Amino acid sequence: MTEKQVYILLTNTGSLLTKLIKLYTKKPYNHSSIAFDQHLSEVYSFGRKTARNPFIGGFVKEDVRMGLFKHADCAIYSITVSESQLQNLRHYLQEIEAQQKQYRYNFLGLFGVMFNRPLKRKNAFFCSQFVAYILNKSTIMKFEKPLGLIAPYDLQCVSNLHLVYEGKLKDYQNENKAEMVCYPVTEKGVFSPSLLYLR
């Protein structure tokens, strides 16, 4: 059986909304995402659609090298999955992505977490609820509490997670540049090796 790795990214971007949430949770990380590779080139979550407006949210593919993530603190965890679990995970994610206009950010659900009462809303997730949902649907993780009450710090408590990195997100990215060797043609038609980096 071929085993793969999936990654859970927890971040603190330092935004005003994050600071407000942190006042309540008292936890260092208040946003969660799921990634399919260690270089974080394919990262998904439910969050803000535009950098300037935190109240327009929904399903997003995140570029963790841009915007609010540029100065974020983070914790990155890996979890080992089977090939079939990985395929299931991609299937459920692609279903949401294909219908993303029908999905919205579950702002009311955040109040449900505060009062320990899950608020079920059709086609609506907050970030950690989304991550928990697709991990649960893919039989990768099971949660004791309702998914509508899963906060980012609950994801850290799952026993089969492995902490990969904790610190500044940009430092992790600098340490994990993927190297790729290519051979460009010179003016004389001779191949000349050079080292390129993929960000």
Is the confidence at residue 196, as pLDDT, over 60? no
Question: What is the share, in percent, of the chain residues with pLDDT greater than 90?
Answer: 63
Cα 60 to the chain's mean position, in Å?
Answer: 10
Q: What is the DSSP secondary-structure string of 55-123?
A: EEEEEEEE-TTSGGGGG-EEEEEEEEEEHHHHHHHHHHHHHHHHTGGG-EE-HHHHHHHHTT-----TT
| Residue pLDDT, tens place only, 97-126 | 999 999 999 999 988 998 999 988 999 999
| Residue pLDDT, tens place only, 140-151 | 999 999 999 999
Q: Are 34 and 9 in contact (CB under 8 A)?
A: yes
3-state secondary structure of 95: helix
pLDDT at 56: 84
User: Running DSSP on this structure, what letter comes out for residue 41?
Assistant: S
pTM for the model stands at: 0.84
Task: State the CATH architecture for 3-198.
Answer: Alpha-Beta Complex (3.90)
| Residue pLDDT, tens place only, 26-39 | 899 999 999 999 99
Beta bridge partners of 168: 73
Q: Is 142 exposed, middle or buried (0-12, 13-18, 19+ CB in 10 A)?
A: exposed
Domain residue ranges in the chain: 3-198
Mean pLDDT of the chain: 85
| C-alpha distances in Å from residue 97, one per residue of 46, 55, 63, 135, 199 | 11, 20, 16, 16, 24
Is the confidence at residue 194, as pLDDT, over 90? no
Beta bridge partners of 182: 194
